[in-house]
């Protein structure tokens, strides 16, 4: 019984739980879940962050400088990777980057110390997949709207020998079709792996401490030190994954805008 009480399930943190039932469509119950709650919290936190930094003071404070720094960073990313005509996509790329960044960071807050367990919804492929499909949909709409059927020339690199065109076209088309899958999968895997590792290390700390002072010193202290280091690394990963998602989205939009 003691072993069961101290057992830690590293996958439990990813379980979607119902907070309140909203309404029913046919036989499907639509509910407000912990995942939806943390999406709302992310939007609210992001809105407050942007609101507090948009005072446009002549002498900007630290908060305004942070907001302007993020804005300038994403603007540079868009200009460098989409190029001409890229500024019209800036609101979407900026919103995408900041939403993923805040979602990743909020999911790492040590709120469990006060009884509130954060939920990292970017560790669910259903969420990251939808974000990827949104970006991919923009690419398809822009590509066909601007270039029509010429958009298919994206799948035939310039200078391809004529006999090789059917094979290259097929390979490039399959590669293009997998873009949204790989885009969503990358973020999902990175966030899931990090949280599982932290949970496993937390289990080592708790169980070794419960086993006695000796095991607490031999296993618990090194595990806790490793948790601190990995937590710092996860903060870096949270930013990198938001950047990579925004960067790849910009590169895909560049292909739709300019083809080759």
* pTM, full prediction: 0.89
Per DSSP, the residues of 92-105 read HHHHHHHHHHHHHH
Q: Give me 8's structure tokens.
A: 């830690």
Instruction: Say if residues 142 and 154 touch (Cβ distance below 8 Å).
Output: no
Q: Is the pLDDT of residue 113 over 80?
A: no
Q: Give me 243's structure tokens.
A: 């950047």
| Domain parsing of the chain, residue ranges | 2-258
Instruction: Say if residues 37 and 45 touch (Cβ distance below 8 Å).
Output: no
Q: Is the pLDDT of residue 7 over 90?
A: no
The pLDDT of residue 260 is 65
User: Model confidence over 176-221: pLDDT tens digits?
Assistant: 999 999 999 999 999 998 888 888 888 888 788 777 777 777 777 8
The pLDDT of residue 1 is 39
Q: Is the pLDDT of residue 13 over 90?
A: no
Average pLDDT over residues 11-26: 81
Question: 153: number of CA atoms within 13 Å, CB side?
Answer: 12
Who contacts 56 (Cβ-Cβ below 8 Å, separation ≥6)? 64
Percentage of the residues of the chain whose pLDDT score is greater than 90: 41
User: Model confidence over 39-84: pLDDT tens digits?
Assistant: 999 999 999 999 877 777 767 788 888 888 999 999 999 999 998 8
> Whole-angstrom distance between the N-terminal and C-terminal Cα of the chain?
64
Instruction: Say if residues 68 and 240 touch (Cβ distance below 8 Å).
Output: no
């Amino acid at each position: 019984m003691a072993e069961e009480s101290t057992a830690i399930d590293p996958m439990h943190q990813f379980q979607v739980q119902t907070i309140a039932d909203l309404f029913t469509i046919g036989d499907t119950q639509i509910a407000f879940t912990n995942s939806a709650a943390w999406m709302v919290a992310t939007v609210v936190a992001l809105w407050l962050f942007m609101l507090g930094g948009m005072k446009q003071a002549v002498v900007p404070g630290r908060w305004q400088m942070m907001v302007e720094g993020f804005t300038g960073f994403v603007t540079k990313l868009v200009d460098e990777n989409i190029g001409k005509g890229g500024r019209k996509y800036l609101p979407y790329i900026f919103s995408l980057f900041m939403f993923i960044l805040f979602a990743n960071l909020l999911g790492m807050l040590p709120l469990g110390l006060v009884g509130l367990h954060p939920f990292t919804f970017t560790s669910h492929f259903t969420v990251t997949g939808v974000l990827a499909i949104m970006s991919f949909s923009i690419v398809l709409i822009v590509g066909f709207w601007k270039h029509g059927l010429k958009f298919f020339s994206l799948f035939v690199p310039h200078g391809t020998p004529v006999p090789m065109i059917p094979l290259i076209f097929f390979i490039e088309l399959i590669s293009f079709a997998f873009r949204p899958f790989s885009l969503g999968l990358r973020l999902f895997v990175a966030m899931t792996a990090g949280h599982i590792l932290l949970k496993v290390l937390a289990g080592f700390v708790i169980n070794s401490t419960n086993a006695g002072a000796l095991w607490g010193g031999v296993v618990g202290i090194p595990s806790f030190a490793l948790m601190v280091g990995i937590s710092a690394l996860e903060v870096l990963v949270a930013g990198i994954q938001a950047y990579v998602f925004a960067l790849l989205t910009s590169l895909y939009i560049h292909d739709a805008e300019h083809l080759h």
